[in-house]
Structure 1
C-alpha cells in the first residue's frame, strides 16, 4: 500500500485542486500558520497560500516552549500549551499582518513537582467559552474560563485521572488529548498513561468537569488521540504504543464500546512502534506513524462508519509528530520533528488520497501546526 507518486501524479493532483474564490471572485488572502517546536524556545510563523499550497517561512514570532496551540474563535489571540512546571498555558495577542506574538498572560493548571508539568493538548469549547487543557505530567484535565476579551482565568474545574500501564512511560495517568462530544455534555480524555479513555461529564453553564466512567484499552497501548465522526455516534481512537486505530460506538449516556481495531503499521513492520496523530476529514481518517515515517489514510464506510485502509505514503521527512488539515480540506501540513521540516501534502477530496507536493520549510523540531485564518 506504500506509494511513491510520480511527477506526473503530483502535477495532476495539484491541478485538480480548485481555485477557491468568494462571491466577488476574489482569491482569499494567505493564512497565518503558527508552528510549535518540541523542547524549543520559540513559536515559528509562516504564511500559507490555500490556493496554490505555497508555504513561506516568517521565522520565530514568539517566545514559548510550545507543545500545542489553538486560536481564539474570533479574536486575534493564540493560546499556547507549554512544557513549563505547573502546567502553564500562555496567552498571546496575534499581529495578523506580521504573525508576531505578544504575550499578554499565563495561567497554571497544576502539576508542580510532577517532573515537568507539561501540557500535551488544549482545545476551545466555544459554546461555553472554555479552554480545556490536558495536563500530561499532572494526570489531570482542567477547564479554564475564557472572558469576552479572551483573557484566561484560573481553572474552574479539574478532573484527576487515575491508573497506570506496563510501559515504563506509563508510570501514572497522562492525559494526551481531549474532545467534547457533540451534545457538549461529556469530555473524552485519551489517557496515554492509564490505558483508558475517560468520559468526564461536563456542565457547560458552570464549566464543571466531573469524574465519570472510562473505556479501557489493551495494557500498554497508550491512547493518544480521539476524534468524533461528524454524525456524533462513532469515535475513532489512535493508540501510540501499539500504533493501532480503533473504531468505537459512542452511546449518548456517556459510554464507549469497541467495534474494530486496525494496525497503522505495515505488515512487514519491524523496530519502533509509535503512532502520532489523528484527523477526521470528510469521508476519510488520517493517521501519522512515527515508527515508519508514514501517513496512513482510511476510508469511512458511509453506512457502518467502519474503516478501510486505502493508502500509506512516506511523510516526506522523519518523525511526523503531528499534522493539520487546512479548513478548506485540500491540504495537509506535517510537522516532521526529527528532520526539522514542515511538509505540504495535497488532498484529493474525492478519493481522500495524499500527494506529496515537494514543498516544505525548515523549522527546528516542529511538533504542532495551527492555522490562524485572517
Structure 2
C-alpha cells in the first residue's frame, strides 16, 4: 500500500497540473460514428449503452472525458474536452448539460452542452459568479442540482458561503438568486475562516445542510424551493451542528430513511452517524468512528463519502492512509460497522462516484493521475479493484453524464 508522506499538503500536489495544461484540447474530434464508443453486451446478452464520464483536474485548466462500459466496467479515454479550471462538476438530471465549478475569483459556474456522440463540450449560456465583490472569491468546492426546484446549489470554499442559482428550462443558468455567508474559524492553520465544502438538501426539501471545513460546523439553512432562496432566518435552534474543534467537516449524506445522516470530517478523518430531526432542524451525534487504522500515524485526511441507493452500505475515502472503506449500515438503527478497508488502486483517493447501477465505483486518485474502476458486490457491499483505469492529470471529481450511446 502506498502512503502519502506525513505533512503532504493538498495544495502541494501540483506536479500534474502542468501536464494537464499541456494536453491539447480535442477541438477536432473524430466524426460521431468514429468517436462514439460502441455499446457493450451484458452477461445476459442484452445491449448496454456506454456512458460518458467527465473528470475535473485539480488546479489544472481542463476537463477530461472518457467512455464507460457498464456491462464490463471498462474505461476508454476521450481526452481534454474543455479549457477551464474545474474544482467540481455535475450534470443536469435530464438534459445533456454539464456544469463546471471553477477556481476563478468570481467563483463561477459555467454550463456546457454535451455532444452525445463525441463527448465534446461547448459553452451553453453565460457563467454565473457566486463570490461577493468584497471577498477574495474563487475556489468552489462542490455543486449539485436540486431537481424539484431546478436549482444549482454551490459551496464556495474560498468565500465561505453557499449559493443558489436557478436553472432555466433549457439548462442555462439564471442570475444568482441567493447566497448565505458562513462564519467561524478553527484551530488548524487551514481554518482561519469559514470554508463551505458541501451542500445537501434535507429529505423534506426545507433545508440545505452545509458542512463548513473552516468553521467546524454543519450550517442548517432554510431553503425556499419556489424562490431558490437560502436563508439563515427562521431556522429552529442554533442553526448548526458543531463538531469538535479542528475536525474540518467536509461531506454529508442522508440515509434514504430520512432520519439519519453521515458526516465525514477531513482533518479528524472520522465518520459520524447523526440523528436528523426535521421538526427542530437539528443533528445529534450518535456514533463517531475513525477512518484511520489503529497503526496509522501519518497526517489525517478523509475525503469522499457516498451511500448506496438502498442505504445498506456507506463508502468513504481516506487520503491520509490511502484507503477506501466500506461500512454496513444497520437497517434498524443506521449505525455503522466497518466491513472492508482496501487500497484505492492508486494514490490519494480525492473523490469517487458510484454508478447508478450500483455495480461500479470509479475512484479519482489524484497523485497517481489515474481513475480506477472497482466492482461492487451489491449483496455484501464490498469493492474489488478490476485493474481497469485511465490516465488523467490530477483527477479530482468524477461525473457520470446523463447521455449514452
Task: Give your verdict on TM over 0.5.
Answer: yes
Distance in 2, Cα, partners of 1:248 & 1:271: 27
Which residue in the other structure is 1:182 paired with?
Answer: 203
Q: How many Å separate the matches in 2 of 1:76 and 1:238? A: 31
Alignment pair present for 1:129 and 2:156 = no
TM-superposed CA distance for 1:271, in Å, is 1.1
Deviations 1:238-262 (A, max 9, x none): 0000100000000012111110000
1:357 to 368, 372, 386: 386
Distance in 2 of aligned mates of 1:273 and 1:155: 36
The 8 Å contact of residues 319 and 336 in structure 1, kept in 2 or not, is answered as yes
Q: Is the 8 A contact 1:20 1:28 kept in 2?
A: no
Where does residue 76 of structure 1 map in the other structure? 96
Match of 2:324 in 1: 295
3-state SS of paired residue (1:78) = strand
Give the SS at the match of 2:148.
helix
| Alpha-carbon shift at residue 20 of structure 1 (Å) | 7.4
Corresponding position: 1:49 with 2:69? yes
Pick the structure with more strand per residue. 1
- Aligned equivalents of 1:121 and 1:136: distance in 2? 8
Q: Is the 8 A contact 1:87 1:111 kept in 2?
A: no
Q: Which residue of 1 aligns with 2:183?
A: 162
| 2:229 is aligned with 1:208 | yes
1:111 Cα deviation from its structure 2 partner: 4.5
The residue number in structure 2 matching 1:143 is: 164
C-alpha distance in 1, partners of 2:321/2:276?
Answer: 30
Quote how far apart the aligned CAs of 1:26 are. Answer: 3.7
Moved more, 225-234 or 25-34: 25-34
Question: Which secondary structure state, in structure 2, belongs to the residue aligned with residue 132 of structure 1?
Answer: strand
In the alignment, the residues of structure 2 paired with residue 115 and residue 278 of structure 1 have an alpha-carbon distance, to the nearest angstrom, of 28
* 1:322 and 2:351 are equivalent in the alignment: yes
How far residue 112 of structure 1 moved from its aligned partner, in angstroms, is 4.6
Shift of 1:36: 0.2
**Partner SS for 1:333:** strand
**Paired residue for 1:217?**
243
Counterpart in the other structure of 1:19: 42
2:54 to 34, 38, 41: 34
Distance 1:81 1:322 in 2: 15
1:106 match: secondary structure: coil
TM-score by length of structure 1 reads: 0.93
Deviations 1:9-32 (A, max 9, x none): xxxxxxxxx9377xxx74221010
Equivalenced residues, count: 355
SS class of match (1:257): strand
Q: Secondary structure at the match of 1:107?
A: coil
Q: Distance in 1 between matches of 2:86 and 2:223?
A: 27
CA contact under 8 A between 1:85 and 1:112: conserved in structure 2?
A: no
Instruction: Determine if contact 1:144/1:154 at 8 Å carries over to the other structure.
Output: yes
Q: Normalising to structure 2: TM-score of the pair?
A: 0.86
CA offset digits 1:59-78 (Å, max 9, x no partner): 10111110111111111111
Post-superposition shift, 1:116?
Answer: 5.2
User: How far apart are the structure 1 equivalents of 2:85 and 2:167?
Assistant: 22
User: How much has 1:367 moved relative to structure 2?
Assistant: 0.2
2:131–2:137 CA contact under 8 A, matched in 1: no
Query: What are the superposed Cα offsets for residues 216-245 of structure 1, whole Å, 9 maximum, x if unpaired?
Result: 000000000000000111000000001000
CA contact (8 A) 2:42 2:48 kept: no
**2:305 equivalent among 269, 278, 296:** 278
Between the aligned partners of 2:43 and 2:266, the Cα distance in structure 1 is 36
Q: Helix, strand or coil for the counterpart of 1:177?
A: coil
The one of 266, 269, 272 equivalent to 1:240 is: 266
Unmatched segments (≥5 aa) in structure 2: 2-40
**Structure 1, unaligned runs of 5 or more:** 3-17
Distance 1:155 1:168 in 2: 31
How big is the alpha-carbon RMSD for the aligned residues of Structure 1 and Structure 2?
A: 1.4
CA distance in 1: counterparts of 2:42 and 2:277, whole angstroms = 40
Give SS of 1:61's match.
strand
- For the residues of structure 2 that align with 1:145 and 1:52, how far apart are their CA atoms? 37
2:217 alignment counterpart: 196
Q: Give the secondary-structure state (helix, strand or coil) at the position aligned to 2:87.
A: strand
Shift of 1:157: 1.1
Inter-partner Cα distance in structure 1 for 2:398 and 2:352: 6
Contact 1:85–1:113 (CA<8 Å) still a contact in 2? no
Counterpart contact for 1:109–1:135, Cα < 8 Å: yes
TM-superposed deviation, 1:115: 4.2
Instruction: Report deviation, 1:142.
Output: 0.5
1:61 equivalent to 2:61? Answer: no
Supply the distance in 2 between the matched residues of 1:326 and 1:63 (Cα, whole angstroms).
Answer: 26
